[in-house]
Amino acid sequence: MKRLIYLALSLALLFACTSCVGKAAVLPAEAVPTAAQPPEPEEVPEEEPPAPPEPEEPYVRVIDPAKPMVALTFDDGPDTACSDQILDILEEHHALATLFEVGRNVAACPEPVGRMVELGCEVGSHSNAHKDLSKLRKSSLLRDLDTADEAFVLAGAPAPLLVRPPYGAVNKTVKPATGRAMVTWTVDTEDWRSRDAQKVIDYVQSYGALDGEIILMHSIYESTVEAVRVLVPWLQEQGYQLVTVTELMAYYYGELPQPDHFYGYTY
């Protein structure tokens, strides 16, 4: 009898332990520890793209006859290095000039001539071979100028009406018998002689009143390029409009250049 009682108690105790172990092994889902989860990333609002810049107003060039004006002129080009640098300066400052180019140089280096025309600069002839025109017979003189004209047309410029005779040399044939207007200058910087930018700058800045003047330089020297880099903005700061020779004649002197006329050192 006692054995039966002990057996019953042992079985009851065994079932009770088994029940506890089973309950301890099964935990509710919310009680099971889990790995730490990264925080949800915050939503960043998309930035609006910047507004496009306002388009610049196109520059409109206007000549005021009541304001001072001066004509910058350049001889002996075009030059592969210097011509474009001078045109860069003129374009940056909305300025124009007259460039008297040598025909054989135009044939060898035509690109700057097309750009001169696009910018609105005036392209004149400085003969074809830079000879003293006053020493040529009329037939040779006309042949030289016609050959230069062909080079200008091929480079994209009209055949020039204006001619600056090399060395400023003219005679009774050159002045009235070419079908073109002969134009010299009124202010000679002698940049070809000094090859010194500061001397050219000093000469122009100390000249005095420049209203109505035609300034001579040469577009084949780096020293002239450096002088132009200073003189163009300086002239504008002094109130001068930088115009072409034809514009100067029209607005300042009240006439247009005429064929077979000579416009000399005092105009």
218 as an active site residue: the answer is yes
In order of 2, 70, 169, the CA distances from 133 in angstroms are 154, 27, 7
88 as an active site residue: the answer is no
Catalytic one of 64, 75, 144, 202: 75
How far apart CA 159 and CA 152 sit, in angstroms, is 6
The answer to whether the beta carbons of residues 130 and 105 sit under 8 Å apart is no
How far apart CA 149 and CA 128 sit, in angstroms, is 8
The answer to whether the beta carbons of residues 71 and 97 sit under 8 Å apart is yes
Amino acid identity, position 265: Y
Catalytic one of 126, 144, 149, 218: 218
**The tokens of 62 are what?**
């206007």
Alpha carbon dihedral 211, 214, 215, 219, in 10-degree steps, equals 140
In order of 98, 103, 143, 200, 212, the CA distances from 65 in angstroms are 19, 33, 38, 27, 11
Residues labelled catalytic: 75, 218
